[in-house]
A and B are shown apart, each in its own frame.
Chain A
Amino acid sequence: MTAPLQKTDVTEAEVPRQRAVTKANTPASGPAREGVVLNVFSHGFLALWALMIVLPLLWLVLSSFKTDAQIAGSAFGWPANWSFDVFTRAWDKGIGDYFVNTVIVLVFSVPLTMLFGSMAAYVLARYEFWGNRLVYYVFVAGAMFPVFLALVPLFFMVKLLGMLNTYQGLILVYVAYSLPFTVFFMHAFFRTLPTAVFEAAILDGASHTRTFFQVMLPMAKPGLLSVGIFNTLGQWNQFVLPTVLMQPQSGDDPERYVLTQGLIQLQQQQGYETDLPVLFAGVTIAMIPMLVVYLSFQRQVQAGLTSATLK
């Protein structure tokens, strides 16, 4: 892991030797020659890390086409037969249900997060009233505490409301725990919107509510997209909250595991029955939506997550 780091010294040490060689051939300027060497090293290390990212992923996807015996035998065999059965088998073995559960929860939780987050951020950013600062700081403070601090009472709160192992329980909890960041980010965004537009809308006779939904919210679209992607990724990948809140309470209670829980469940079943290709196929299925979302929105994903961290 640390090898590339130590190699930085090599780059420096290598420079004089290379310089002597190039001096004979081309009378280039100092930094340019240094640049050529650095360029070769850059590409070398960058390509090495790129391989370290791609190979394990590719290897896992390939492994889902193998048989159990092949997987256990040797790490680098090529799959004997390319059958896609394993993906249907993985889907039927539970991945399908877990996938649907996750989608059901997110279809509600992400839009609700965006709606409630924007509403709160908007009034906090653009209206003066008593307690404004206090409410804002209470929201922002929530982003700094570890979720483990709340876990035990949260479980009993959701139980009290009769919402353990229900979609609506998880949806409400996801929304609540996504609010700090959403409010924080959208607050900054609404503050940058021009006041003139707002005043024009009010003068034209629009109500405050109407101004928000028809004027301000559409103007905040780039911000909404960034936070929306951030929340989608965060909630799709959430594991701790469903582990506590989505467990069947009795034998005849349906299993409402989300995808992350389901994968881990499949992985742990491997102790009793070996069907590793199904597990790997499950991971491949779980990876595909992420890959698609990422590749279609990679600019916004990177910008969203980066600005999220920097602010």
Chain B
Amino acid sequence: MRKGQYQFVAGFLLVPVALYLVFVIWPYIQTFGYSLTDWKGQSQTFSFVGLDNYVALFQDDIFLGAIWHNILFLVFIPVITILLALFFAFMVNAGGRSRAGGVSGVAGAGFYKILYFFPQVLSLAILSVLFGAVYRSDSGGMLNGFLVSIGLVDPGAPVEWLNEPNFVLWALIAVIVWHGVGFYLVLFSAAMQSIPRDIYEAALIDGAGRAQSFFKITLPLLWDAVQTAWVYLGIVAMDMFILVSTMTAPGGEFGGGPDHASETMSTYLMRNFLIYGKSGYACAMGVVMLLLTLILSVVTLRATRRERIEF
């Protein structure tokens, strides 16, 4: 490599790498250090407390409850979203009237894909206001209004979707599923369309029905996409900050109510940091979130590992 090239490379890397180190990498690293201190955040004075924050975290019932809620999200959000998305992707791509023995998509497949995908481009802040209105706890809410009008719910006592500890997590899961299904439908569709058609034709000649060709051909060949979807939805489930902090009744600032029934690690972290000023404690929570995210990724990739099918 000539000398001019080194200058060029260094010149091009300087600004991006500097920005990245200052605002991303260095804070990531600092978090580990701060998590071992009793830093209050206001002053620059703090002392080293070793693992005290972590010990306290695992005796903190609110935080343990928050981890549990994140785990519930982690199980139900990916399962429901992926199953619905697979179902619709199959309908869109193989639900059409067959012509001349081939498997074809439904009429208007393009339209469905455009429409279903739209929620994905809306910000979660918009979703928060929208579903806040849908879940209103009087008959002015869309859901209660509907249930009242078909006679399932007594207008005098509508359902408190977001204030009822048994419902609040499900109400939040429904919003995330509503938001995500279209995206994963498009993702799975793209994967389905890359499967060569002659495989289907061969199966058809051998007498395979649609259900068989779905479970024996489509699903195994989609496995990579499903695995990716699982990891991404898992990351969404670990976060959940916007919806919980804005839609649920306050268990303090940043939502999490009623009575911490919907508390997540992210909302509890934010409250400890910005409201209680417990910066060191909040950093320890950040580290726990990272560990759980890493475990999630490794477990998902391991548990769903299959023999790779080349086509």
Contacts and interface: CB of A to CB of B under 8 A. Distances in A.
A and B found bound together: yes
Contacts, number: 306
Given A31-B210, A53-B119, A310-B187, 7 more contacts: A32-B101, A60-B129, A236-B123, A267-B132, A268-B246, A302-B186, A305-B120
Nearest to A267: B129
A282 B129 CA distance: 10
Interface string B20-58: 101111111011001000000100000000000000000
Contacts of A41: 91, 95
A219 interface: no
Interface string A101-137: 0000000000000001101101110011100000100
B123 A260 contact: yes
B204 A31 contact: yes
A60 B130 contact: yes
Nearest to A293: B121
Interface string A230-247: 000100110110011000
A46 B92 contact: yes
Given A8-B87, A75-B145, A120 B13 contact: yes
A55 B83 CA distance: 23
A272 interface: no
25 contacts: A4-B84, A31-B204, A34-B210, A41-B95, A46-B91, A46-B92, A46-B95, A53-B115, A56-B131, A74-B139, A127-B9, A129-B5, A139-B20, A142-B20, A146-B238, A146-B289, A150-B24, A150-B27, A150-B28, A180-B20, A183-B16, A207-B8, A209-B8, A263-B128, A310-B224
Chain A facing B: main interface SS:
helix
Nearest to B232: A309
Interface string B229-249: 100100100110110001000
A148 B239 contact: yes
A155 B98 CA distance: 58
Contacts of A119: 12-13, 15-16
Given A74-B139, A139-B20, A149-B31, A157 B95 contact: no
Interface string A18-32: 000000000001111
A157 B27 contact: yes
Contacts of A60: 129-130, 133
B80 to A, nearest CB: 6
Given A53-B182, A151-B269, A305-B183, A146 B235 contact: yes
Given A34-B210, A127-B9, A179 B19 contact: yes
A120 B9 CA distance: 9
A75 B22 contact: no
A12 interface: yes
A203 interface: no
Interface of B: 1, 4-6, 8-9, 11-13, 15-17, 19-20, 22-28, 30-31, 34, 41, 80, 83-84, 87-88, 91-92, 94-98, 101, 106, 112-126, 128-134, 138-142, 144-146, 149, 174, 177-178, 181-183, 186-187, 190-191, 204, 209-211, 224-225, 228-229, 232, 235, 238-239, 241-242, 246, 265-266, 269-270, 273-274, 279, 282-283, 285-287, 289-290, 293, 297
Chain B facing A: main interface SS:
helix
A265 B139 CA distance: 25
Contacts of B30: 153
A17 interface: no
Nearest to A175: B19
A43 to B, nearest CB: 6
A240 to B, nearest CB: 6
Nearest to A76: B145
A138 interface: yes
Contacts of A73: 139-140
Contacts of A239: 123-125, 241-242
A1 B177 contact: yes
